[in-house]
Amino acid sequence: MNTSAWATVLAKPVQPGRDHIRGAARSVVTLVEYGDYECPYCRAAHGIVAALEKQLGGQMSFVYRHFPLVTLHPHAQSAAEAAESAGRQQKFWPMHDSLFTAEKLLTHDFLIAAAHALGLDERSFDAELMGHLHLARIRDDFMGGVRSGVNGTPAFYINGVRHQGAWDFESLLTALNQASMRGMKLMT
């Protein structure tokens, strides 16, 4: 891997079965985001990532990791816990999308309403939230981000290397296409 001295790499490589992965598991390019459900920049990035997924289709996989900035966003950790709880019921991605498109504060009442809208077992969902069942997983993501050089959200990694540039659609698309071309050369 050819990286410059300032490039930061993922301390924890993507792990199928552990990470939440959307898209082709064996894609040429993988985009990892460390994000916070209450962060307005992550909310903006959510739409950009969705457009990238649509544009690139099976050429890209997307991984989301939690990096709740609780001192700035008081509901971010509970929202991350809600996403993980929904994931235990095979609904991580629908909850993920719901949290980023919410027009309301991510309060406990909102999270329960979102679980209801997704058809989740609300009793189990609420018990997991109240018992902080997924807190260790979220802390693990967070600490992996810290070890990877994350200091704010959103933070993107393309094929394990920190994307240092702008994260608008065109900038990320260019970076993903470049990584895809490098990946294809390595495969031949």
What mean pLDDT is predicted for residues 38-61? 94
Rg over CA atoms, the chain: 16
Q: How many CB atoms lie within 10 A of CB 169?
A: 15
Report whether the peptide linkage leading into residue 68 is cis, meaning its omega lies within 30 degrees of zero.
no
State pTM to two decimals: 0.91
What mean pLDDT is predicted for residues 31-39? 97
Say if CB 62 and CB 33 are below 8 A apart. yes
**Spans of all domains in the chain:** 21-187
Instruction: For residue range 78-114, list pLDDT tens digits in order.
Output: 999 999 999 999 999 999 999 999 888 899 999 999 9
3 state DSSP class of 121: coil
> DSSP per residue over 39-77, as a string?
-HHHHHHHHHHHHHHHHHGGGEEEEEEE---TTT-TTHH
Instruction: For residue range 115-161, list pLDDT tens digits in order.
Output: 999 999 999 999 999 999 999 999 999 999 999 999 999 999 999 99
HEC sequence for 131-182: CCCCHHHHHHHHHHHHHCCCCCCCEEEECCEECCCCCCHHHHHHHHHHHHHH
| Beta-strand pair 20-23/60-66 | antiparallel
Helical ranges in 89-121 per DSSP H: 92-101, 108-117
Say if CB 19 and CB 179 are below 8 A apart. no
Q: How many CB atoms lie within 10 A of CB 22?
A: 18
- Residue 183: pLDDT over 70: no
- Residue 188: pLDDT over 60: no
Q: 21-187 has which CATH code?
A: 3.40.30.10
Instruction: For residue range 70-86, list pLDDT tens digits in order.
Output: 999 999 999 999 999 99
d(CA 122, CA 138) in angstroms, rounded, equals 21
